[in-house]
Amino acid sequence: MREPAWRQEGEEPDYRFSLANERTFLAWVRTALALLAGAVVLEQFSTQLGPHVVVVILAVALGVLSAVLSVIAYVRWRANEIAMRNNRRLPTTVAIPLLSAVVLLTAAVIAVLFVVH
């Protein structure tokens, strides 16, 4: 695989920081996989929750969030690597507030569905 051009700029960071950045990337990917699993479980096994269209919308929203989070994880990993190479501050991310908001909204809707049922 060809090495990206950004890996040629700046100085090679301490490998411990690069490995920590990689572990963070993998944690975001695990979170994305957990959201995807939650979406599948919600859609496939939520026979007691209704209306079913709301459950499907929640499952699709979780699936889409999972895909978006996977992309954000890579973009964040790459941005962190570039920042470390160029001795700059690490960039901020939209992932944390986005993830928090969607999970909060999903939990609230599921709680309402439990109460209504």
How far apart (Å, rounded) are the C-alpha atoms in residues 69 and 76? Answer: 10
Q: In percent, how much of the chain has pLDDT > 70? A: 100
Assess whether pLDDT exceeds 90 at residue 6.
Answer: no
Task: Please report whether residue 61 resides in a domain.
Answer: yes
Task: Please report whether residue 114 resides in a domain.
Answer: no
Cβ atoms 62, 46 nearer than 8 A? no
pLDDT value at position 5? 86
pTM score, whole prediction: 0.83
How many domains does the chain divide into?
A: 1
Task: Please report whether residue 2 resides in a domain.
Answer: no
Alpha carbon 91 to chain centroid, angstroms: 16
Give residue 60's pLDDT band: very low, low, confident or very high (50, 70, 90).
very high
In which domain, by residue range, is 52 found? 7-108
Assess whether pLDDT exceeds 80 at residue 48.
Answer: no
Task: Please report whether residue 117 resides in a domain.
Answer: no
Task: Out of 9-13, 65-69, 79-83, pick the least confident.
Answer: 9-13
Task: Please report whether residue 99 resides in a domain.
Answer: yes
Task: Please report whether residue 113 resides in a domain.
Answer: no
Task: Please report whether residue 115 resides in a domain.
Answer: no
Task: Please report whether residue 32 resides in a domain.
Answer: yes
What is the residue-averaged pLDDT of the chain?
A: 91
